Structure 1
Amino acid sequence: MVEIVLLVAFAAALLIIRATTRRWNFALSGRIAMCAMLCFTALGHVMFPQGMAMMIPPFIPFKVELVYLTGLLEVAGGIGLLIPKFRKLSAILLIIFFVLITPANIYAAIHHIDLQKASYDGPGPAYLWFRLPLQLFFIAWVWYFGLRKP
């Protein structure tokens, strides 16, 4: 679902920018799309905090608080991509963020966590065949549209 939000937001931003400026701006469209996707995923932190907290290994304290904090970080990172002064720093921090949350996705898959229902009947390890390449795609997207020199 998040990849659909990313791609639809990219297409919409690209077409709106083209219609208003008569120019194609792929870099800005890519950053707008990532911001939109991150705001969308941040909603999950508010809507499903208990399920998302289950994705965090037991040795880490303050799980629900960490879920809310990471949701805020997603929004801040997305907005940062849109502010020229903070674009590079935001892109670097988002790439680090995507790397750091990968273990939580692996943990959730191994333990069959369904974050929406806060239960242990999720899709399991097979989910990683989709999620890990998607995580790499997000990292590449942020690098391409946030760090790469035009």
Structure 2
Amino acid sequence: MKPLVVLILSFFIALLTNWAIGNGLNFVFAGNLAMSIMLMFTALGHFKFAQGMALMIPNFVPYKTQFVYLTGVIEVLAAIGLLIPTVRNLTAILLIIFFALILPANINAAIHHVDHEKATYEGKDVSYLWFRVPLQLLFIAWIFYFSLD
């Protein structure tokens, strides 16, 4: 839920700030900046809660902790790429693939009641993990709308 709040708030703040300084309502800029901010926010979790996020990854994936760090780096690079017009299209395509590939980790986490902040399988309310499934679809739609030419 926090990533969604960050995404929406960042979008409206960017949109209104851009308008207030006289640049009009630039939806594409605001949409890409908001997704970049959200990606930086979620990337922090990959480093702060790496052990817990490793529990989210299905068992067939080796080197889980290293994979969490790698996906955090990917999110940082994607956040930067969305802000560079010459690589935005490629970044968007790769992000859509990325979001699709990490979906099984979110489903696995919900099934196993992962509490990624405490690194346990004792999550009491995992509804937020199930919420991440449609949220991934929203992120993909967001990228399609704001980032692809």
TM-score range, shorter chain: over 0.9
Deviation at 1:127, TM superposition (A): 4.2
Q: Percent identity?
A: 59
Letter in 2 for 1:62: Y
Q: Does 1:72 align with 2:73?
A: yes
Report how many aligned residue pairs link the two structures: 147
- Which runs of at least 4 in structure 1 moved beyond 4 Å after TM superposition? 126-129
Say if 2:8 and 2:34, in contact at 8 Å, map to a contact too: yes
Question: CA 1:38–1:47 in 2, change beyond 3 Å: closer, same or farther?
Answer: same
1: distance between equivalents of 2:69 and 2:130? Answer: 27
Which residue of the partner structure matches residue 11 of structure 1? 12
Deviation at 1:130, TM superposition (A): 1.7
Deviation at 1:143, TM superposition (A): 0.7
Say if 2:109 and 2:129, in contact at 8 Å, map to a contact too: no
Question: CA 1:47–1:128 in 2, change beyond 3 Å: closer, same or farther?
Answer: closer
| Deviations 1:32-59, CA, capped at 9 Å, x for gaps | 0000000000000011000000111122
Deviation at 1:66, TM superposition (A): 0.7
Q: Does 1:131 align with 2:132?
A: yes
2: distance between equivalents of 1:118 and 1:135? Answer: 22
Per the alignment, in what secondary structure is the counterpart of residue 21 of structure 2?
helix
Unaligned stretches of 5+ residues in structure 1: none
Deviation at 1:61, TM superposition (A): 1.2
Unaligned stretches of 5+ residues in structure 2: none
Deviation at 1:20, TM superposition (A): 2.0
Deviation at 1:129, TM superposition (A): 4.4
Which residue of the partner structure matches residue 84 of structure 1? 85
TM-score (norm 2): 0.94
